[in-house]
Amino acid sequence: MIVGKDVKTWISDRPRQRATLADMAAFARDWEQGAVHRRFREAFDSIEAPTAEKVADTASALFADESWVDALIDGLAARMRADPFFDPPFRQHRTDIYDGLLVFEHELVSIAAGVSTAAQLAAKKTAPRGPTSVGFTGHLGVFKYVKAGGALLSFWEVPPITAGFTAADAGQCVRTGEREIADGEILVIDGRHQSFVIERARSNLVILQATIAPDRAPLCVEYDSASRGFVGCSATHDTSSRIQMITTLLRKLDCDAALPAMVDLLDHPDFFVRWHVMKELLGLDAGAALPHLRRMAASDPHPDPRRAARAVLDRFEAPAAKRQAA
């Protein structure tokens, strides 16, 4: 544990700070130039016409040898024992039940090594919606349970999540079974229609995760395991999420100069992005948005934006129709 006096001493010691940062940079350089990282990079670089399935097969083969995990953990532990201010030089991969480090990143895949603790799993089960939430990630994933912790997993399926996904046709999730996972077991889960829930664990789990980039669905979707019904969805691509955040910010800033760029985004390939941009456009300048709202209501290729645009358009036009009737 780093206590206040140690922190104060370290902050006031510039040479020591530089030494810590240099050690972190050296560790990152040695890892990226080392045999494990090179083997992973060459394996994924060699995939011809990569598909999600090919990338998952490659990740599964690499996960069969887990000796590199022990070497990586031992190396990090030695540096942290020598210098309590040494911070592993990897991006974090964190959820409410998983604390991991992204130890390999490639355009086709990202690989994380981390831990799910029994305490995290218990907290998830007692949190609001926790016991009944089943999430479908929208992408293929490979999971290696280096230490399975006696975990019991339940498995779930839904209709395939595609670009034509609609809330009305989301269907229901189906529980297909459950079983205890063994140490060293590798699972390939197609998050475009499959998911799992860790129901319980006797001890902490050490897990490798490979998140596959190609062929992912546009959405990750959440269902309720009690009602089995659709709960909500969100974008799987960072670009789509960023567009949604930026257009919201532009509307909050009353940035009229952004209107042409926002109008261009109404042709975005993701239907949920088109509707989000339309909502922000209406908030920014309803008069300028109205012709585009009519176009969306009449001809958007996806039924959800068409229905939503039609409902908003009806609210716009209802007062005018009453005035004419009067």
Q: Where are the domains of the chain?
A: 11-235, 238-325
pLDDT at position 247: 95
pTM comes to 0.81
Class of domain 11-235: mainly beta
Q: pLDDT digit string (tens) for 77-92?
A: 999 999 988 999 999 9
Kindly state the average pLDDT of the residues 249-276: 93
pLDDT at position 181: 96
End-to-end Cα, the chain, rounded Å: 76
pLDDT at position 126: 62
Q: pLDDT digit string (tens) for 111-168?
A: 999 999 888 787 676 665 555 689 999 999 999 999 999 999 999 999 999 888 888 8
Number of other CB atoms surrounding residue 243 within 10 Å: 19
Pick the most confident of 13-17, 165-169, 202-206: 202-206
Kindly state the average pLDDT of the residues 198-205: 92
72-76 CB contacts, 8 Å cutoff, 24+ apart? 72/31, 72/36, 72/103, 72/113, 73/113, 75/27, 76/27
Number of other CB atoms surrounding residue 251 within 10 Å: 19
Q: pLDDT digit string (tens) for 270-290?
A: 898 999 999 999 999 999 999
Number of other CB atoms surrounding residue 148 within 10 Å: 21
pLDDT at position 166: 85
pLDDT at position 106: 96
pLDDT at position 325: 55
Tokens for 227, please give them. Answer: 């009602």
What span, in angstroms and rounded, lies between the C-alpha atoms of 106 and 38? 12
Number of other CB atoms surrounding residue 250 within 10 Å: 21
Q: pLDDT digit string (tens) for 100-126?
A: 999 999 999 999 999 998 887 876 766
pLDDT at 323 over 60: no
pLDDT at position 320: 60
Sheet containing strand 98-105, edge to edge, reads: 91-95, 98-105, 109-116, 205-212, 140-147, 185-190
pLDDT at position 301: 92
Distances, alpha carbon 56 to alpha carbons 22, 51, 182, in Å: 35, 9, 20
pLDDT at position 128: 59
Which H or E element spans position 124? Answer: helix 118-126
pLDDT at position 127: 62
